[in-house]
Amino acid sequence: MLHKRAWWLWLVMGGLATIGYYLLPYDSVASEVEYTSVGLLSCLAIPLGVRLFRPARPAMWHWLAAGQFTWLMGDLVWDFHKFILHREPYPSAADFLYLAAYPMLVVGLMLLSRGRRRGGDLAGVIDAAIVAIGIGLVFWVFVMHPIAAGSTASALERAIGLAYPAADTLLLAMLARFFTSTGRRSTSAWLLGAAAVVLLGSDVTYSLLTLYTENDGGGLLDGGWLFAYVMWAVAALHPSMRWTGGTNGPSVARVSRGRLVLLGVSSLLPPSLLFVPGIGDNDVDRMAIAAGAVVLFVLVVVRMSGFVSQIQRQADLLEDLAMADELTGLANRRRLEQGLTEGLAAGSMQVALLDLDDFKEVNDSLGHGVGDLLLVAVAERLRLAAGPDALVARMGGDEFAVLLTGTTTEEADALVARLTGSLNGSVRTDGHDLMVGVSIGIADAQGADSPLEVLRRADVAMYAAKISGGTHRRHTPELDRTANEQDRLGAELRTALATNQFRMVYQPIVELPHGRPHAVEALVRWHHPERGVIAPDRFIPVAEHNGFIIELGEWILRTACGQAAQWLADRGGRAPDRISVNVSARQLAEPGFAALVTRVLADTGLPAGRLTVEVTETAVFGGGQAVQTLNELHELGVRIALDDFGTGHSSLGLLQTVPVDVIKVDKSFVDNITMAGRQAVIATALIRVSEGLGLSAVAEGVETAEQAAELYRLGYRLAQGYHFGKPVAEPQFAAEPVPAHR
């Protein structure tokens, strides 16, 4: 691929030719022929490069080629004067051609730096102006002004003499623009920059030499101009010329250290001139320096304000990013806290905190992808339901918040109703129809002194809503007291288990009417070192909430089964036939629960048929893993009891989907059974259902003999309650059975 190497070849040959120029006798025909042919070939190289590489932006190269040819014409005219006419006039037609070449080169270089960003890169232009004015002023003081003031020269000579440094200043401005522009530069662009630098360097040196010394370098500088020719050509022959001229790389709004130094030095140049002895003695220089300094100052200020607004824009962008939730696009926790602070200052506000129920299960069983889609869908529904005046935020995980400022309690409650309504029914995500349950806590800022306090209140209310199974709860001071206690208990659970503070007690389940022991229900107690015995109602929900129920539940199962096996070994036929163990929703949802039961039965030696697992309706209502676990347990031969039967939503429906052996009729239906009323009717209906489905029914909370008698009359054959025995550590089964009638 020769044409890919052409630039290299020309660089080497051109370099050698430049050296060769100095080896040939000065001012000889030979050296002049060499000079001119290198110039001619270099001029031809530019259109050649355009043909070879077909650049995306040929215009720039056309301008550069035109400039080079015009320059070459100048050389030829000069040679004609010198070698044919043997005259060296100043000014001559050659000067006009040279001067005509500069604007073309300048246009070419201008196109080089332009177009990175459509609409112009104002900052780049200002930077270039700062550099050009700074250095241009120095040029003025040392070169242009002395020429302009030269008394011996004619007006035309002076004009031409001034035109060169002026053209050079333009060239310099373009170079400054090139070197201060951002973005990636191609090799070809660098070569063009180098060509312009060589040209400019030669020009400036020449001007200084002719002004301040008696000679013009004696042809020494010719090599510079010659090499500049070569460089323009090399740039045009480099393959990267194809995409040189603006389209390369994205413009990065960035200020490099180098650029800052360049700008700083340039803007300090004019005032520093005043330190040079003799400068500023004349009005013209002084005015030029003063005007330059003022213009530079203005430009620097404009540029600085550009920096500032650029930084401001970036800061704004960062702030937006920092305030939004990545997944859902809602506000994030930080943004909400900001809103809370503002709301607190403004006066009244209401916060609703929402937590999806069973989101973890969705994530675990369907994967995080579906979980994320669900969150996005929920976010969208909340956004729509909350309306434009509310701030909807995602707090992280499956927790959302809605902030209302300047609203009344009634309006907030209406909003909460809208929010629950919006999540009613299933959410369709990625082919899955998911039921979304939600718990909402609402709080106002009455008397609150910090945003976090308001959030805490809403959190307490939400937690209470979750535990009580309702959808929403408004915060009250009373809730705080229980929540505080629950927090403390929650923190102590682990130590309590490690230091044996939990004990099991056993309550008999007896046969009616004679009250012969049939089974026992295992119930847990916490013997707290300071607070005495704590009832399970107070710590089981906490353990469920923080997940500790998994560990505690395993201990309970092991202890209860171990005890039952022990009784069997010690008392044989006088031991209770079965033991009932309460299992929470969280335990059932754990995929390994059936395997755990298998292990515990094997470890303790208790036959599966002697174990009953008590679960609440709500624990299995959602279907899924919980029901599967129950099926596995049923397969093992473990019996399943539905606890607190009749208090859930779909008690009867569940009997068809869940393998149930026993229903435990809730105490509330037993309490008033001796009085004619609704309870008695339900208790009657439930025993009919259990008979119809072939299930056992246990009446719970039997406290009196009358209740026991009535239950027996209705058809109940199993009962449990203080009347027959309270839960105790060592129930006496051998003792006299408690008869239904005393």
Interface with ligand C2E (CB under 6 A)? 507, 522-524, 535-537, 540, 556, 582-584, 614, 643-644, 701-703, 720-722, 727
Q: If binding means CB under 5 A, how many residues of this protein chain bind Ca ion?
A: 5
Rank residues 47 and 469 by Cβ distance to Ca ion and give the closer one: 469
Rank residues 33 and 535 by Cβ distance to ligand C2E and give the closer one: 535
Q: How far is the CB of 518 from Ca ion (least distance, A)?
A: 15
Q: Could you write out the three-class secondary structure of 182-224?
A: CCCCCHHHHHHHHHHHHHHHHHHHHHHHHHHCCCCCCCCCHHH
Q: For Ca ion, which stretch binds (CB under 5 A), given 15-23, 372-380, 630-638, 695-703?
A: 695-703
364 binds, among Ca ion, ligand C2E, none (CB under 5 to 8 A by kind): none
Which DSSP string do the residues of 214-268 spell out, in sequence order? SS--TTTTHHHHHHHHHHHHHHHHSGGGGG-SS-SS-------HHHHHHHHHHHH
Closest to 543 measured CA to CA, from 601, 597, 489: 489
68 binds, among ligand C2E, Ca ion, none (CB under 5 to 8 A by kind): none
Token reading at 417: 């109703």
Neighbouring-strand partners of residue 438: 356
d(CA 410, CA 144): 82
Rank residues 176 and 662 by Cβ distance to Ca ion and give the closer one: 662
User: Which residue shows structure tokens 């060239």?
Assistant: 171
Q: How far is the CB of 582 from Ca ion (least distance, A)?
A: 5
731 binds, among Ca ion, ligand C2E, none (CB under 5 to 8 A by kind): none
Rank residues 439 and 616 by Cβ distance to Ca ion and give the closer one: 616
Q: How far is the CB of 526 from ligand C2E (least distance, A)?
A: 10
What single-letter amino acid sits at 430? Answer: D
Rank residues 331 and 594 by Cβ distance to ligand C2E and give the closer one: 594
535 binds, among ligand C2E, Ca ion, none (CB under 5 to 8 A by kind): ligand C2E
727 binds, among ligand C2E, Ca ion, none (CB under 5 to 8 A by kind): ligand C2E
Rank residues 204 and 552 by Cβ distance to ligand C2E and give the closer one: 552
d(CA 82, CA 103): 26
461 binds, among ligand C2E, Ca ion, none (CB under 5 to 8 A by kind): none
523 binds, among ligand C2E, Ca ion, none (CB under 5 to 8 A by kind): ligand C2E
Rank residues 95 and 644 by Cβ distance to Ca ion and give the closer one: 644
Q: How far is the CB of 507 from Ca ion (least distance, A)?
A: 9
536 binds, among ligand C2E, Ca ion, none (CB under 5 to 8 A by kind): ligand C2E
Q: For Ca ion, which stretch binds (CB under 5 A), given 118-126, 203-211, 365-373, 699-707?
A: 699-707
Grouping H, G, I as helix, E, B as strand and the rest as coil, residue 739 is coil
Does residue 121 interact with Ca ion by CB under 5 A? no
Token reading at 347: 């006066």
User: Does the N-terminal peptide bond of residue 91 adopt cis geometry, omega within 30 degrees of 0?
Assistant: yes
- Could you say which DSSP state residue 701 is in? -
Q: Among all residues, whose Cβ is closest to Ca ion?
A: 614
Report CA 303 to chain centroid distance, whole Å. Answer: 32
537 binds, among Ca ion, ligand C2E, none (CB under 5 to 8 A by kind): ligand C2E
485 binds, among Ca ion, ligand C2E, none (CB under 5 to 8 A by kind): none
| Angle, in degrees to the nearest 10, between helices 257-273 and 122-139 | 30
Q: How far is the CB of 414 from ligand C2E (least distance, A)?
A: 35
What torsion, rounded to 10 degrees, do the Cα atoms 107, 112, 116, 119 define?
0
698 binds, among ligand C2E, Ca ion, none (CB under 5 to 8 A by kind): none
Q: In the chain, count H helices and then E strands.
A: 27, 16
Site map 475..494 versus Ca ion, x via CB under 5 A: --------------------
Among 563, 582, 604, 629, binds Ca ion (CB under 5 A): 582
Closest to 185 measured CA to CA, from 256, 236, 110, 244: 244
Q: How far is the CB of 332 from ligand C2E (least distance, A)?
A: 36
Rank residues 222 and 700 by Cβ distance to ligand C2E and give the closer one: 700
Q: How far is the CB of 712 from ligand C2E (least distance, A)?
A: 16
d(CA 547, CA 361): 13
Alpha helices in 673-720 (DSSP H): 678-693, 705-714
Rank residues 204 and 510 by Cβ distance to ligand C2E and give the closer one: 510
Q: How far is the CB of 723 from Ca ion (least distance, A)?
A: 16
392 binds, among ligand C2E, Ca ion, none (CB under 5 to 8 A by kind): none
Site map 631..670 versus Ca ion, x via CB under 5 A: ------------xx--------------------------
Rank residues 34 and 700 by Cβ distance to Ca ion and give the closer one: 700
How many residues would you count in the chain? Answer: 742
Rank residues 145 and 494 by Cβ distance to ligand C2E and give the closer one: 494
What single-letter amino acid sits at 734? Answer: A
Rank residues 68 and 696 by Cβ distance to Ca ion and give the closer one: 696
Q: Among all residues, whose Cβ is closest to ligand C2E?
A: 721
42 binds, among ligand C2E, Ca ion, none (CB under 5 to 8 A by kind): none
Which strand (E) or helix (H) includes residue 102? helix 93-113
Q: For Ca ion, which stretch binds (CB under 5 A), given 365-373, 462-470, 543-551, 576-584?
A: 576-584
Q: How far is the CB of 626 from Ca ion (least distance, A)?
A: 16
715 binds, among Ca ion, ligand C2E, none (CB under 5 to 8 A by kind): none
Rank residues 247 and 668 by Cβ distance to Ca ion and give the closer one: 668
Site map 595..634 versus Ca ion, x via CB under 5 A: -------------------x--------------------
Q: Could you write out the three-class secondary structure of 475-508?
A: CCHHHHHHHHHHHHHHHHHHHHHHCCCEEEEEEE
Site map 533..572 versus Ca ion, x via CB under 5 A: ----------------------------------------
Q: Could you write out the three-class secondary structure of 329-396?
A: CCECHHHHHHHHHHHHHHCCEEEEEEEEECHHHHHHHHCHHHHHHHHHHHHHHHHHHHCCCCEEEEEE
714 sits in the region (left: phi over 0; alpha: psi -120 to 50; else beta) called alpha
Rank residues 540 and 638 by Cβ distance to ligand C2E and give the closer one: 540
Q: How far is the CB of 638 from Ca ion (least distance, A)?
A: 15
Token reading at 716: 């109940």
Closest to 525 measured CA to CA, from 548, 550, 497, 546: 497
Q: How far is the CB of 373 from Ca ion (least distance, A)?
A: 38
| Angle, in degrees to the nearest 10, between helices 29-53 and 222-237 | 20
d(CA 255, CA 421): 53
Rank residues 410 and 537 by Cβ distance to ligand C2E and give the closer one: 537
Task: Collect all residues with Cβ–Cβ distance below 8 Å to 91 and sequence separation of at least 6.
Answer: 156, 157, 160
292 binds, among ligand C2E, Ca ion, none (CB under 5 to 8 A by kind): none
Residue pair 619/584 in contact (Cβ under 8 Å)? The answer is yes
Grouping H, G, I as helix, E, B as strand and the rest as coil, residue 615 is strand
Task: Collect all residues with Cβ–Cβ distance below 8 Å to 579 and sequence separation of at least 6.
Answer: 506, 519, 520, 521, 522, 560, 561, 563, 564, 606, 610, 611, 612
Rank residues 147 and 519 by Cβ distance to Ca ion and give the closer one: 519
Phi first, then psi: give them for residue 449, nearest 5 degrees.
-110, -5
Binding site for Ca ion (CB under 5 A): 582, 614, 643-644, 700
